[in-house]
Chain A
Amino acid sequence: RKEVEQDPGPFNVPEGATVAFNCTYSNSASQSFFWYRQDCRKEPKLLMSVYSSGNEDGRFTAQLNRASQYISLLIRDSKLSDSATYLCVVSPPWAGNMLTFGGGTRLMVKP
């Protein structure tokens, strides 16, 4: 089993739609969680950290479910510019300085 698993997609949605991605992680003792965004042929960039209580940043909401070992990302009112690959990132407790990246979920927002 992969340490961090994501549905690769693509998720094709119209502008203005709400879309949600889930990501599952294998190590129940993992402490830190993030969503990164990666545009085509570009480097990953931090979108948001994921806190135990859940957190929101504008149109983006991240949730953590420790019992079921998954994190989610909800995007409301999708924009064309949201088209990208979204990477789920986890820091297992043994990892020290290392992060473990999921394979990414591709989102395509259509006019």
Chain B
Amino acid sequence: GAVVSQHPSRVICKSGTSVKIECRSLDFQATTMFWYRQFPKQSLMLMATSNEGSKATYEQGVEKDKFLINHASLTLSTLTVTSAHPEDSSFYICSARAWTSGGAARNEQFFGPGTRLTVL
């Protein structure tokens, strides 16, 4: 259980175009999803928190007009990179928060496989 998928796994686009990445929780409902960015040989950097039915919360320094997030259902969040440029090329990873059962266990995040974006 608790599987998160991302689509596409890899995308190449021309500079100036927009690209949409989907993140789905396949077997659970996720009121909260997270979007990360990872540069080669670097750590994951949280970009934004996506909440179902409300506006996303962006981290400091992340342009909300450039990285549009929509979380229209309990199983789907989308990240749209608008007017992409070569510097937006990166590995984008989403995660979904699911509550696990048990007295000691609390919420944890399940990660998608990531989307490699290359902007030419």
Is the pairing of A and B real?
no
Q: Which residues of A contact B (CB under 8 A)?
A: none
Q: Which residues of B contact A (CB under 8 A)?
A: none
